[in-house]
Amino acid sequence: MKALVINCTLKRSPAPSNTDALAQVVVDRLEKDGVRVEVLRAVDLDIEPGVTSEPVREGDAWPAVHAKLLDAEILVVASPTWLGRPSSVAQRVLERMDAMLSETDDQDRPVAYNRVAGVVVTGNEDGAHHVISEISGALADIGYTIPGQAWTYWHLGPGPGPDYLDEERGREWSHRTGRAMAANLAGVARALAARPLGAPPG
């Protein structure tokens, strides 16, 4: 079983990423459960704006990301909180994924069917539940199954404060929730693999 983690931090590699650090807790648990995990930092890729799976112009990195989405049973979208909302990078990723709404497999099922998704959020401001809801709602629209409690977050709101990498407070809860998230994602993904959803009734 494969998982793809798309880190939507605004920081290009190799800059340290709070979002990447918390997502790694989920990655470690997935790998412990026998899942092969690939992590992408979207801001490092030349992803053009748009709502198509096809390249917008030469050099557009999205078609390769799209292929990885179709090769993974599990997707984790990880985003910082900015102004109480998902990052602009997360929004661009979701906009490109919008094209998957009209894509079907050889059994006429939406291509996101029988795949599961979850969300990781970090930020030194409040708004994590809003970010989780926005991203989870978009992924459910596309066709992903969102297991119960398939999310984790860290912040010390309300208001501004320290970053995840600079503060130990709250990490125990976030890590425990992240491990539960990973277990739920893997469990539901395996259940769907054993008894997959069929095409929607006409």
pLDDT confidence of residue 76: 99
Q: What angle do CA 134, 145, 188 make, to 5 degrees?
A: 130
User: Is residue 81 a contact partner of residue 37, using CB atoms and an 8 Å limit?
Assistant: no
Instruction: Tell me how far apart the alpha carbons of residues 15 and 6 are, in angstroms, rounded to a whole number.
Output: 16
Q: Say whether pLDDT at 133 is over 80.
A: yes
Q: Say whether pLDDT at 128 is over 90.
A: yes
pLDDT by residue (tens digit) across 91-105?
A: 999 999 999 999 999
Q: Token pair of 28, please?
A: 């470690």
Q: Token pair of 67, please?
A: 């292929």
Q: Say whether pLDDT at 160 is over 80.
A: no
Nearest to 120 by CA among 18, 197, 2, 15: 18
Q: Burial, 44: exposed, middle or buried (Cβ in 10 Å; 0-12, 13-18, 19+)?
A: middle
| Whole-structure pTM value | 0.96
Q: Token pair of 183, please?
A: 């277990």
List residues bridging with 118 in a β-sheet.
76
pLDDT by residue (tens digit) across 69-122?
A: 999 999 999 999 998 999 999 999 999 999 999 999 999 999 999 999 999 999
